[in-house]
């Protein structure tokens, strides 16, 4: 509630002056850019439908966004004049250019259809493509905003900073996070809707007003987006700051840690906010992967995967797994990057990690990978947080070799966390806490203690629905 109130207060300050100053100029520019997007991509789609190869045109258009940002007056003449320069761009591999072009054209055609659900589905599909997911978010969103401005927010570094701060999210600058960031942006717009529609506020699109507000807040007001402090972490999770400080210290010392405990103690929730604290306001990012019994070295590190060539034949290439992809991206960041491994002990860790077992202990060393033979080292800014369920007897017990490589952080049922959580809900939780204490005292000494989550507002709601 406090964050929502602060957001509304800032918007009122913005609405009192800025929309009547430079605001109309920005709005006019964005309208022209949307017209250009529709005109250019409609022309490229028509040309492609007629059998023309438009790969160079599409890639050149995206390259201009990649080099100069989205605030650019684009013309075909400019693209033609810069063709030689654009052809040298390294952000997209030569072998992926045609595939990316076809994906963009599919995106444009789908957004021109009348099926609203298909628009969002195709964007999620597009964002998951290996040659798209790591593209800068501001490189593609002007296209979506141009095609469907009432459904896709124009997201850049300004709006992403505002969304992450006021929604307590950790969306990255990569396009893979766009769908979720877009949905969260609309949640913030809903919070501001009453103020946006006040008499006297310009009758612009809500999306444009929000984008203008983000620009004003970051660039003009230079709002102090306070770091995600331990105090904020404690307020969000209801744990004591002293506990959280010990967890942070342990993970920074080892480079990796595991939150272990029975179900319902909030391990994944705590891990996500711990990751947010570790990356803070840097340029790092957070990814989450869930292990399961079928998870393998090939999935996590690298392995041979069939890939279809242009002629329809199969190539069997060594493809990097999730961790190698994560580390490759982390190398381009200066800030801390965090990989959360949920249910880490559901996989055979010695088999999944392979030579990573050595690197987890000797963080400053390099080792040759088993499949490719390439040298690999964990980037210095990478942290790993695992979550481990101690109650399920069917999952693997970690041996000491693995245990000593991780900082183990026990998360037990904490009644004070539950009591603090319900201070603002009005729910009479004391009786339930008493029952939970009696139950846990009865079964003490086993890993089966039920956690506080089951008596949180969401847990109670799930249990009674």
On whether both 443 and 353 belong to a single domain, the answer is: no
- Report the range of poorest mean pLDDT among 31-40, 53-62, 90-99, 260-269: 90-99
Q: Tell me if 90 is assigned to some domain.
A: yes
Please say which residue of 220, 245, 279 terminates a domain.
220
Q: Tell me if 309 is assigned to some domain.
A: yes
pLDDT confidence of 258, banded at 50, 70, 90?
very high
Please report, to the nearest 10 degrees, the dihedral formed by the alpha carbons of residues 304, 307, 309, 310 taken in order: -160
Q: Tell me if 117 is assigned to some domain.
A: yes
- DSSP structural state of residue 136: B
On whether both 35 and 136 belong to a single domain, the answer is: yes
pLDDT confidence of 310, banded at 50, 70, 90?
confident
On whether both 201 and 295 belong to a single domain, the answer is: no
On whether both 422 and 406 belong to a single domain, the answer is: no
Please say which residue of 220, 238, 258 terminates a domain.
220
Q: What is the pLDDT of residue 418?
A: 75
Q: Tell me if 225 is assigned to some domain.
A: no
> pLDDT exceeding 90 applies to what percent of the chain?
36
Q: What's the mean pLDDT when you consider all of the chain?
A: 82
> How many distinct structural domains can be found in the chain?
3
Whether the per-residue pLDDT at 367 is higher than 90: the answer is yes
Whether the per-residue pLDDT at 351 is higher than 80: the answer is yes
**Mean pLDDT on 142-164:** 90
**Mean pLDDT on 335-360:** 93
Q: Tell me if 196 is assigned to some domain.
A: yes
Q: Tell me if 347 is assigned to some domain.
A: yes
On whether both 234 and 177 belong to a single domain, the answer is: no
On whether both 377 and 332 belong to a single domain, the answer is: yes
On whether both 143 and 161 belong to a single domain, the answer is: yes
On whether both 64 and 165 belong to a single domain, the answer is: yes
Whether the per-residue pLDDT at 392 is higher than 70: the answer is no
More confident residue, 219 or 228: 219
**Residues in the chain, how many?**
465
**Mean pLDDT on 43-69:** 79
Number of other residues whose CB lies within 10 A of the CB of residue 425? 11
More confident residue, 224 or 274: 274
Tell me: the pLDDT tens digits for 167-202? Answer: 878 888 888 899 999 999 999 999 999 988 887 777
Tell me: the pLDDT tens digits for 432-457? Answer: 778 877 777 776 655 444 455 545 54
On whether both 22 and 163 belong to a single domain, the answer is: yes
Task: Give the pair of three-digit tokens for residue 323.
Answer: 């961790």
pLDDT confidence of 65, banded at 50, 70, 90?
low
**Mean pLDDT on 102-118:** 89
Q: Are the beta carbons of 330 and 337 closer than 8 angstroms?
A: yes
What is the Cα–Cα distance from 208 to 27, expressed in whole angstroms?
Answer: 7
Domain carrying residue 299: 230-410
On whether both 405 and 424 belong to a single domain, the answer is: no
pTM of the model: 0.53
Q: How far is CA 176 from CA 67, 87, 143, 410, in A?
A: 19, 25, 15, 33
Please say which residue of 410, 437, 452 terminates a domain.
410
What is the Cα–Cα distance from 418 to 454, expressed in whole angstroms?
Answer: 10
Q: What is the pLDDT of residue 281?
A: 66
On whether both 363 and 309 belong to a single domain, the answer is: yes
DSSP 385-454: EEEEESS-TTSPPPPHHHHTTSEEEE----HHHHHHHTTTT----HHHHHHHHHHHHHTTTSTTPPPGGG
Q: Tell me if 255 is assigned to some domain.
A: yes
On whether both 85 and 125 belong to a single domain, the answer is: yes
């Amino acid at each position: 509630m406090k964050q929502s109130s602060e957001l509304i207060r800032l918007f009122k300050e913005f609405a009192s002056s800025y929309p009547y100053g430079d605001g109309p100029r920005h709005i006019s520019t964005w309208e022209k850019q949307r017209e250009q997007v529709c005109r250019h991509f409609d022309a490229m789609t028509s040309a492609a439908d007629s059998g023309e190869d438009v790969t160079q045109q599409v890639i050149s258009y995206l390259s201009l966004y990649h080099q100069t940002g989205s605030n650019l007056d684009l013309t075909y003449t400019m693209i033609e004049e810069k063709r030689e320069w654009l052809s040298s761009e390294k952000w997209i591999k030569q072998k992926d250019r045609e595939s990316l072009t076809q994906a963009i054209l599919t995106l444009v055609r789908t957004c021109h259809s009348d099926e609203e659900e298909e628009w969002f589905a195709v964007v999620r599909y597009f964002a998951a493509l290996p040659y798209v997911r790591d593209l800068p978010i501001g490189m593609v969103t002007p296209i979506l905003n141009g095609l469907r401005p009432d459904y896709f927010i124009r997201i850049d570094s300004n709006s992403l900073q505002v969304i992450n701060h006021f929604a307590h999210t950790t969306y990255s600058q990569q396009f893979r996070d766009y769908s979720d960031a877009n949905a969260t942006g609309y949640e913030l717009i809903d919070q501001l809707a009453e103020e946006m529609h006040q008499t006297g506020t310009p009758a612009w699109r809500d999306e444009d007003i929000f984008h203008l507000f983000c620009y004003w807040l970051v660039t003009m007001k230079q709002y102090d987006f306070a770091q995600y402090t331990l105090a904020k972490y404690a307020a969000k999770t209801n744990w004591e700051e002293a506990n959280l400080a010990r967890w942070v210290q342990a993970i920074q010392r080892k480079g990796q840690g595991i939150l272990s405990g029975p179900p319902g103690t909030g391990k994944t929730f705590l891990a996500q906010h711990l990751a947010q604290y570790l990356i803070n306001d840097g340029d790092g990012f957070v990814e989450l992967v869930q292990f399961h019994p079928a998870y393998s070295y090939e999935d996590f590190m690298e392995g041979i995967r069939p890939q279809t060539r242009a002629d329809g034949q199969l190539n069997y290439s060594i493809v990097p797994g999730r961790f190698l992809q994560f580390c490759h991206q982390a190398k381009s960041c200066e800030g801390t990057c965090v990989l959360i491994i949920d249910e880490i002990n559901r996989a055979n860790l010695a088999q999944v990690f392979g030579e990573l077992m050595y690197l987890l202990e000797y963080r400053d060393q390099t080792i040759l990978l088993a499949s490719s033979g390439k040298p690999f080292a964990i980037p210095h800014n990478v942290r790993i947080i695992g979550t481990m369920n101690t109650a399920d007897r069917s999952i693997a017990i970690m041996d000491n070799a693995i245990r000593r490589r991780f900082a183990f952080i026990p998360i037990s049922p904490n009644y004070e966390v539950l009591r603090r959580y319900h201070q603002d809900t009005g729910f009479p939780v004391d009786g339930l806490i008493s029952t939970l204490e009696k139950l846990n005292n009865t079964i003490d000494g086993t890993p089966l203690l039920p956690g506080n989550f089951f008596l949180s507002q969401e847990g109670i709601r799930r249990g009674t629905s």
